[in-house]
Structure 1
Amino acid sequence: MKKRLQKIVLTVVLAFAGMFIGNAQELGVRFGDVSAGNIAIDGIFSTGDFNRLHADLSFGDGVAADLLWDFLYRPLADEAFNWYMGVGPYLAIVDEDSYDDDTDFNLGAAFEIGLEYRFVNIPVALGLDYRPSLEVLDETSLHWGGFGLNVRYVFE
């Protein structure tokens, strides 16, 4: 049963990745602590003037997908410098022990608060964020880590 669930989750994650790359308004990389390692494909999908979907597909110790609904609070200092916060679910298949065949299925919610700078003359956005999370399944636990650096290309 566990192998079947892993195949279903992997199929959903790959479908999400295809949709993710095809429709993003910003696409880049997130370095730092993410749901399944320390690197992720990072994308932004605008849903309005002051909100957006912030999606990550991370790799490393497994495969994970995060989908956060962010609220933008701008401008902070000038037109290009914003801060944001949001919340949303994450789903991960993580290999806890590399020497063992023990794979965990994790489901939870993540909170995000961050700062972002969009360059005026070049289509690049840089961001720093903090993303603690609450794991609900496979076990219930609170993770206080989650600092990250986002580097994204802005499609306009």
Structure 2
Amino acid sequence: MAVNTVTASTAWTDPHCPVARAADLVGDRWSLLVVRDAMDGARSFTEFQHRTGIARNILTDRLRKLIAHGVFTQVEAPSGKRKLYELTDSGKDLFPVIVTLRQWGERHAFKPGEEHSVLVDDSGSPVPGFMPMAVDGTPLTSETTRVEYAG
């Protein structure tokens, strides 16, 4: 279920644009890296901090924000001594976003031949490139789509 939480402290960059709202919620570097690491198995504050190198105060802030907006939930650790963080269905829905950013980075953020990590499926094969498709299977681009405004 999508969370549409608007608080007095939420100032939407563009209140009518889904891209702007998504960027307001998860568009900063640290939030996306925390989500990425959760998708790769990180669950504890310490794991997120170790994997990202993020400062404790910034990590605390990002986790609070992601919980408040329904991207993460906190659960009791089996030891009962601390809390763990789990992606909600809303958080898991960010998987295509993370994959698309990764694939853009593979194409545009590395020099030819420069080593980088690769996302693979269960068989070990690289994940194929994402391309939005029309209902009839035709690839979509910015030239073949438009935004329609309600009202």
Q: TM-score interval w.r.t. the shorter chain?
A: under 0.3
More strand by share: 1
TM-score by length of 2: 0.23
Quick check: which has more Rg, 1 or 2? 2
More helix by share: 2
The structure, 1 or 2, with the larger RCO (C-alpha pairs under 8 Å, 6+ apart) is 1
